[in-house]
Amino acid sequence: MSPVVIAIDLGATKTLVGVGRTSGDLLARVQFPTPIQGSPELAVNEMVLKIRQLLAENNIADDQVNGVAVGAPGPISYPQGIIYDSPNLGWQKFALRQELEQRLGWPVVVEHDVAMAALGEFHFGQMKRYPNLLYVTLSTGVGAGIIINGELYRGSIGGAGEIGHMVIDPHGRLCNCGRRGCTEAIISGTALAIQARELVEQGRATYLQSLAKDGVITAKEIAIAAREGDSDACRLLAQFRENLQLILANLVHIFNPDIIVLGGGVVQGMRDLFFEGIEEEVRAQVFPMHRPGVKIEVTRLGGDIVLYGCLAAGGIWGFE
């Protein structure tokens, strides 16, 4: 049997810890809220505790474990695994790899979560291997994992794939990064929710407002309202779709990938509302030479995609 890997998907709001094999069998997983207040030590304590529990529950001895792979929000240095001033986690320059290695005694790799997801998709998401694959995540943020010629592309210093900060409207909405009109400020789940709240401030979107728990509209309420045919929600989603198509067409022109795979909370939660026909629309926007190669899918790995990427990473790098 292939080696056991501990897989960790560290997120801003929740963390998943799993155990599985490098062949892609996820044996068990557990989810818990990421300790807040920007405290990496608390988060590491919780991870270690859950790892110990999972191993005990699944009768896996320490010497069966090859190593630990972690997908985490950026910016991260590779291979040092230092998480720099992560706006999502609120951590500042935390040596996650070193900390986990000291606490657990196994080798650890830390990779950008979206890059890890792309590895998962490349190895376990598709029936066939597409050597040039883009994984695009749409959730609270927007990012891409890039596989070129069968290998993860990290760029010069590990910063590749930040498509969320590709400006598509220089006079558009203010982004967390300080610039205007970034993709993330326009089509992320957070951006959708902000657009809905703006409608409410203008005295519109009354139905959306009525759905909101504690008065705060999220992407979830937009999806519910759109399914019921609410015109404000449908308009927001039509804009979202139009912008997404534009961004995907840009990516086709830049990367000419074999396949683009979409994932993340917004895609999981709203697939039925925007995905149908998107491949044809993007095909219509790109150069004729690119058209036959346009292939867009939604990941089948769902919310565990980063964990699958960790299993793949354990197999590739072998924790030497």
By the criterion CB under 5 A, which residues form the site for Zn ion? 165, 175, 177, 182
Q: Cα–Cα distance between 192 and 103 in angstroms, integer?
A: 40
- SS3 for 135-180 is EEEECCCEEEEEEECCEECCCCCCCCCCHHHCECCCCCCECCCCCE
Q: Which is nearer to Zn ion, 48 or 168 (CB)?
A: 168
- The residue among 1, 72, 92, 88 whose CA lies nearest residue 313 is 72
Q: Which is nearer to Zn ion, 7 or 266 (CB)?
A: 266
Instruction: Provide the minimum distance between the beta carbon of 194 and Zn ion in the complex, in angstroms, as a whole number.
Output: 14
Q: Which is nearer to Zn ion, 162 or 221 (CB)?
A: 162
Q: Are 189 and 182 in contact (CB under 8 A)?
A: no
Kind and range of the H or E run holding 19: strand 14-21
User: Which residues on adjacent β-strands are paired with residue 142?
Assistant: 138
Q: Which is nearer to Zn ion, 176 or 268 (CB)?
A: 176
Surface-to-core class of residue 250, CB atoms within 10 Å of its CB (0-12 exposed, 13-18 middle, 19+ buried): middle
Q: Which is nearer to Zn ion, 27 or 168 (CB)?
A: 168
Q: Which is nearer to Zn ion, 165 or 204 (CB)?
A: 165
Q: Cα–Cα distance between 64 and 58 in angstroms, integer?
A: 12
Q: Cα–Cα distance between 274 and 234 in angstroms, integer?
A: 10
What are the strands, taking DSSP E only, across 209-268? 259-263
Instruction: Provide the minimum distance between the beta carbon of 3 and Zn ion in the complex, in angstroms, as a whole number.
Output: 39
Q: Which is nearer to Zn ion, 110 or 182 (CB)?
A: 182
The dihedral sign for the CA sequence 32, 33, 39, 42: negative
- Please state, as a whole number, how many other Cβ atoms lie within 10 Å of the Cβ of residue 117: 32
Q: Cα–Cα distance between 70 and 6 in angstroms, integer?
A: 8
CA angle 138, 113, 306 (to 5 degrees): 85
For residue 284, how far is the Cα from the chain centroid?
Answer: 27
Instruction: Provide the minimum distance between the beta carbon of 184 and Zn ion in the complex, in angstroms, as a whole number.
Output: 5
Rounded to 5 degrees, what are φ and ψ at 247?
A: -65, -45
Q: Which is nearer to Zn ion, 18 or 189 (CB)?
A: 189
